[in-house]
Every structure is written in C-alpha cells, then in structure tokens.
C-alpha cells in the first residue's frame, strides 16, 4: 500500500525534501515500519507500506525534517475505517480501501434490532461481528422503534 503525504512551506508545495516516516500500531504502540519517503512532485511524497494489514489500525507520523513550524509534521491514522482518509491517501493494490466498506454496506447482514439506541446494525463478513451501529431516526430526528420481536433484517448477499 502506498502512503502519500503532501508537504507545503508557507502555502507553497515543498519540494526537494527527504521526509522521515514512522508508522505505529494503534493497538500496541509498536513501530511497524519506518523509513524515508520518496518525492513524487509538487509537494507530494510517497512511502511503500508493504506490511499494511487492512484489519489493523495504524498511526502515521511524517517529519519533513528541514521545514519549520506547523509545516514540518504530518500525522494521520489508517485502518479499514480510519478517519483521516482525506489527509493521507491510502491505496492498496491501486484499490481504495474504502471500497471494502462500501461492499460490506451493500451486501452484508443488516438488522433493525429491538430497542431505541444503536438499533440499526451492519455486520462484518462473519455475520456475527457488528462493524457499524447507529440510531434510526425519522425526518424530525425522532428515534424510530420497531414493533417488538418483528423481523427487520437483510441477510448477507441480498
């Protein structure tokens, strides 16, 4: 997977840098990989994160070294559902990792469970592990509840 990061120097693309990158496991805090990024051009730099595992979350810290102030460092998180997907590009085999989430949303088991909070549940590929839960609300943002014990589900692949 390529990690790409943009550096600027006072609102101008920063070129000619040799940024250092360090990637840590969010779970353990251990450094998974580190090295020097390669320049792509126009302020963009890349690093081949060959040990990337889509099921893990990572913290990325990039240091432009020769820049000063707020332009020197770039940080982000990865993972299948990482939040900084627009700050640092994450590509695995030229397929954006977000496509995995889109596939799961479109095909995996989805249920409206009894209760008033986090009752809309999308399950992972194993049909057991919830990956996303949210409240179902109407146009007035009032929670929608279902009739107790009624069946409201989509099985995998429907």
pLDDT of residue 147: 63
**Confidence (pTM):** 0.52
Min mean pLDDT across 16-25, 95-104, 148-157 is at 148-157
Say if residues 30 and 23 touch (Cβ distance below 8 Å): no
Q: Which are the contacts of 140, defined by CB distance < 8 A and separation ≥ 6? A: none
Min mean pLDDT across 28-32, 48-52, 85-89, 134-138 is at 85-89
Q: Which domains does the chain have, with CATH numbers?
A: 2-98 (2.60.40), 108-154 (no CATH)
Q: What is the pLDDT of residues 46-83, one digit of tens each?
A: 999 988 887 788 889 999 999 988 889 998 877 544 44
Phi, psi torsion values for 130, nearest 5 degrees: -70, 135
């Amino acid at each position: 997977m390529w990690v790409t990061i943009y550096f600027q120097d006072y609102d101008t693309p920063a070129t000619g840098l040799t940024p250092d990158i360090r990637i840590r496991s969010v779970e353990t805090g251990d450094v998974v990989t580190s090295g020097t990024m390669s320049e792509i051009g126009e302020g963009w730099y890349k690093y081949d994160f060959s040990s990337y595992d889509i099921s893990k979350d990572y913290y990325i810290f990039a240091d432009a070294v020769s820049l000063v102030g707020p332009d020197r460092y770039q940080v982000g998180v990865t993972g299948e559902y990482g939040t900084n997907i627009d700050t640092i590009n994450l590509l695995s085999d030229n397929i954006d990792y977000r496509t995995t989430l889109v596939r799961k949303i479109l095909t995996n088991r989805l249920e409206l469970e009894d209760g008033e909070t986090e009752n809309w549940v999308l399950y992972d590929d194993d049909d057991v592990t919830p990956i996303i839960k949210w409240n179902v609300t109407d146009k007035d943002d009032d929670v929608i509840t279902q009739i107790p014990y009624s069946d409201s589900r989509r099985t995998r692949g429907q």
